[in-house]
Amino acid sequence: MADIDSKFESATPIGVTTGPIRGSRKIHVATQTGSGIRVAMREIDLDPHSGEPPVRVYDTSGPYTDANATIDINAGLPEIRADWIRNRGDVQEVTQREVKPEDNGQLGPDRSGGVPAFPNVRRQVLRAKPGANVSQMHYARRGIITPEMEYVAERENLGRARLSEYKRDGESFGASIPDYVTPEFVRDEVARGRAIIPSNINHPESEPMAIGRNFLVKINANIGNSAVASDVAAEVDKMVWSIRWGADTVMDLSTGRNIHDTREWIIRNSPVPIGTVPIYQALEKVGGVAEDLTWEIFADTLIEQAEQGVDYFTIHAGVRLPYVPLAAKRMTGIVSRGGSIMAKWCLAHHKESFLYERFDEITEIMKAYDVAYSLGDGLRPGSIYDANDEAQFAELYTLGELTKRAWAQDVQVMIEGPGHVPMHKIKENMEKQLEACGEAPFYTLGPLTTDIAPGYDHITSGIGAAQIGWYGTAMLCYVTPKEHLGLPDRDDVKVGVVTYKLAAHAADLAKGHPAAQVRDDALSKARFEFRWRDQFNLSLDPDTAEQYHDQTLPAEGAKTAHFCSMCGPKFCSMKISQEVREFAAKQNQPAENFIAAEEAEKLVPSEVEAGMAEMSELFKETGSELYMGAGGREHD
């Protein structure tokens, strides 16, 4: 479905956005091992006259963009991982925990909130056999390469087929990015805790992906239920719309009514890992009174969500009683909802957090389903003023302690980070996280690099996200233009996702990620050769690129014209550049032999004369066709 003016597009019969992303095809690439595993990617065909090969790009959109797929949200997605999970022989079927009214935030037994239960919801779900550990980390540490790891390796190798054409380049700040990703490399990274593959055994619909400093930088989009969710498809489409534009994972931050049923609909239809903050639902179950929270209610909520298939849980176990008062002298106190809930509980009971004290018991639950930890930064700064303060770092070091405790049980962990941080304080966050948390993947919100631009915080934070991604952050949690002001609509979500996708890619380029530049080069070459359609199709948002172009030059002919609206048909620097190239080509020597650039500034007149004479000679050979057209494209 085209996305131009998405607000006004009519819903498809199945109620979610489907159809190929403009100018590309879904493909499924077999892994090298011959295991029969096929990895979903997107391929962009370029103008046949260009002689350029198709460009393969990473694809998070799942079957929704596959022209050959049939989408039925009442049935959910195919369970591509079902056999992989069962064939490991370490899971058992158990009867799913009975859904209670309070799971949907209702006092009575009715489900009058407008959200029907997912049809044929599983009565039987999976759990590790007694004593077993089904986490990817556990397999990795025992030397087992899982199909999930194999899938990830092929997926991450994107573009590396052309690696020989590239000289590796970049500053990775100590990362260890290989030329080629092997399944063994993935296993080793997961075993060391430097990467996670969120893959709950009850979410077999998910396409495996890795979050780690030595892989492509990932992004997360947040969604939440509407106050009155009368249309289930609309709730599911928030997820579908996010992954269409590039969200690698989606967090369901729903609160209030119907969150259990809404979550079931989302997970059954999601090809990407789903994250949640279980304390939100637990709080609903005690009527919103933080001090009434108990370990039993919380643990029951973890099992409820683990059985549905949530892939990672944000757990704010680092908000310890002694740290709470450190927030007192802050400009903006505690800005994390989960953090403030736990702070309130700790003060109410003058007790240490039960999340901290029961951490090993939580880990026991996580490993029975392979739910990954996303250790929450409940004390992250909410303003430039509060950045990098002692409350923030006290919590970070506790998260490091908890990381090691989770790893002791082979449970996967990533660490959440800020927030609001001025540029000169960003690197310290990355360095302290790597040191405190043993290189566990860092997952940051922005950070926002200034507080003065509400309405543009996708940009104030995109600046910080690109930098911290370059420094080593593995996943960037998006921020929309509505941050601090209101609830994002469909267009805000798209702008947030695309902004973070470009920030993540800028980070991959700067880290020297192999072949990350393939797409930049393909687009630049298309730009230079006036292949407008290829330019649009290679961009992160082909619909908007074409829409902007057509606002100035609507005619179809303009898409093949050898000029653009900035300079018009008369002037074009691309044209003279091509002439310069022909000029150089006609010589029997490479252009740089005219003169070495390093020598340029040292030129003395006589040498200049010599250079000119040489040029003059060469000119006479090349003739006058060199001298047609002129002009330029960008500013001056």
Residues 209-238 close enough to bind a second copy by CB under 8 A: 222
Question: Of 195, 545, 559, 563, which lies in the binding site for a second copy, with binding defined by CB under 8 A?
Answer: 545
Judged by CB under 8 A, which stretch of 121-129, 154-162, 359-367, 450-458 contacts a second copy?
450-458
Residue 265, Cβ neighbours under 10 Å: how many? 25
Query: Which backbone phi and psi does 91 adopt, to 5 degrees?
Result: -120, 155
Q: Should residue 566 be labelled a site residue for a second copy when binding is judged by CB under 8 A?
A: yes
Does residue 273 contact residue 203 with C-beta atoms inside 8 Å? yes
Minimum CB separation of residue 279 from a second copy in Å reads 9
The only residue of 104, 157, 429, 449 in contact with a second copy, by rule CB under 8 A: 449
| Residue 386: closest CA among 438, 354, 339 | 339
**Residues within window 23-82 making contact with a second copy, judged by CB under 8 A:** none
Question: How many angstroms separate the Cα of 65 from the Cα of each of 85, 240, 241, 243?
Answer: 26, 10, 11, 10
Nearest distance in Å: CB 434, a second copy: 15
Of 110, 350, 556, 557, the one binding a second copy by CB under 8 A: 350
Q: Does 477 bind a second copy (CB under 8 A)?
A: yes
DSSP H helices, 220-292, are: 232-244, 259-268, 278-285
User: Cβ contacts of residue 34 below 8 Å, gap of 6+?
Assistant: none
Q: Of 538, 429, 433, whose CA–CA distance to 22 is shortest?
A: 538
Q: Residues annotated in the binding site, as ranges?
A: 222, 251, 280, 316, 336-338, 377-380, 416, 420, 443, 484, 564, 567, 572
Provide, rounded to whole angstroms, the least separation between the CB of residue 138 and a second copy. Answer: 27
Residue 78 CB, shortest distance to a second copy, in Å, is 30
Tell which one of 556, 592, 604, 625 touches a second copy (CB under 8 A).
592
Which residue, 18, 27, 243, is CA-closest to 155?
27
Nearest distance in Å: CB 232, a second copy: 22
User: How far, in Å, CA of 402 to CA of 413, rounded?
Assistant: 9
Establish if 269 lies at the interface with a second copy (CB under 8 A): no
Rounded distance between C-alpha atoms, residue 155 and residue 242, angstroms: 19
By CB under 8 A, is residue 476 in contact with a second copy?
A: no
> Least Å distance between CB 12 and a second copy?
24
- The CA-atom distances, in angstroms, between 225 and each of 76, 110, 112, 512, 530 are 19, 19, 15, 39, 44
Minimum distance from CB of 117 to a second copy (Å)?
26
* Sequence-distant (≥ 6) Cβ neighbours of residue 293 within 8 angstroms: 279, 282, 283, 286, 341, 345, 354
| Residue owning tokens 């700064």 | 381
Establish if 110 lies at the interface with a second copy (CB under 8 A): no
| Locus of tokens 């599983």 | 122
CB atoms near residue 312 (< 10 Å)? 27
187 binds a second copy (CB under 8 A): no
- For residue 487 the two structure tokens come to 């609830």
Q: In the range 599-618, which residues lie near a second copy by CB under 8 A?
A: 600-601, 603, 608, 611-612, 615-616
* 570 contacts a second copy (rule: CB under 8 A): yes
Least distance in angstroms from the C-beta of 113 to a second copy: 16
- Which CB sits closer to a second copy, 144 or 348? 348
Number of residues lying near a second copy (CB under 8 A): 166
Taking the C-alpha atoms of residue 303 and residue 370, their distance in angstroms, rounded to an integer, is 12
Span 151-180, contacts to a second copy by CB under 8 A: 169-171
541 near a second copy (CB under 8 A): yes
634 binds a second copy (CB under 8 A): yes
Q: Which residue number, 138 or 559, has a Cβ lying nearer to a second copy?
A: 559
Query: Crossing angle for the helix pair 295-308 and 259-268, nearest 10 degrees?
Result: 30
Q: Is 185 or 536 the residue whose CB approaches a second copy more closely? A: 536
The region of 9-17, 38-46, 361-369, 496-504 touching a second copy under the rule CB under 8 A is: 496-504
Q: Site residues for a second copy, window 361-380 (CB under 8 A)?
A: 376
**Which letter does DSSP use for residue 571 in this model?**
B
Q: Which two tokens stand for residue 623?
A: 């003739």
Question: Tokens in use for 113?
Answer: 């909130």
At residue 397, the 3 state secondary structure works out as helix
Judged by CB under 8 A, the stretch of 68-76, 95-103, 358-366, 582-590 that binds a second copy is: 582-590
Of the pair 52, 79, the CB lying nearest a second copy is at 52
Complex with a second copy: residue 81 or 257, whichever CB lies closer? 257
Residue 11 interacting with a second copy (CB under 8 A): no
57, 158 contact by CB (below 8 A): yes
Q: Which residues are annotated as a binding site for Zn(2+)?
A: 420, 484
338 vs 98: CA distance, rounded Å = 26
Secondary structure (3-state) at 414:
strand
Report yes or no: 186 and 149 within 8 Å, Cβ to Cβ. Answer: yes
Site stretch for a second copy (CB under 8 A), options 124-132, 156-164, 184-192, 347-355:
347-355
**Site membership for a second copy, residue 527 (CB under 8 A):** yes
Contacts of 599 (CB under 8 A, 6+ apart): none
In this complex, which beta carbon is closest to a second copy, that of residue 193 or of residue 469?
Answer: 469
Among 211, 236, 372, 540, binds a second copy (CB under 8 A): 540
Give the Cα-Cα-Cα angle 254, 260, 491 (nearest 5 degrees). Answer: 35
Is residue 532 within 8 Å of residue 277, measured between CB atoms? no
- The least CB distance from residue 376 to a second copy, in Å, is 6
- Binding a second copy (rule: CB under 8 A), the pick from 598, 604, 606, 625 is 598
- Kindly tell me which residue out of 111, 122, 337, 432 binds a second copy, with binding defined by CB under 8 A: 337
CB-nearer residue toward a second copy: 38 or 358? 358
Token look-up 């998260």 returns 399
**Which of 314, 282, 295 shows the shortest CA–CA distance to 477?**
314
Q: Which stretch binds a second copy (CB under 8 A): 28-36, 69-77, 133-141, 442-450?
A: 442-450
Nearer to a second copy, 276 or 363 (CB): 276
Residue from 42, 141, 194, 320 touching a second copy (CB under 8 A): that is 320
**What are 557's two structure tokens?**
């002919």
Identify which range of 26-34, 62-70, 104-112, 622-630 contacts a second copy by CB under 8 A: 622-630
Residues annotated as binding site for substrate?
222, 251, 280, 316, 336-338, 377-380, 416, 443
Residue of 233, 297, 463, 561 that binds a second copy (CB under 8 A):
463
Q: Residues near 123 by Cβ (< 8 Å), separated by ≥ 6?
A: 95, 96
Q: How far apart are CA 82 and CA 180, in angstroms?
A: 28
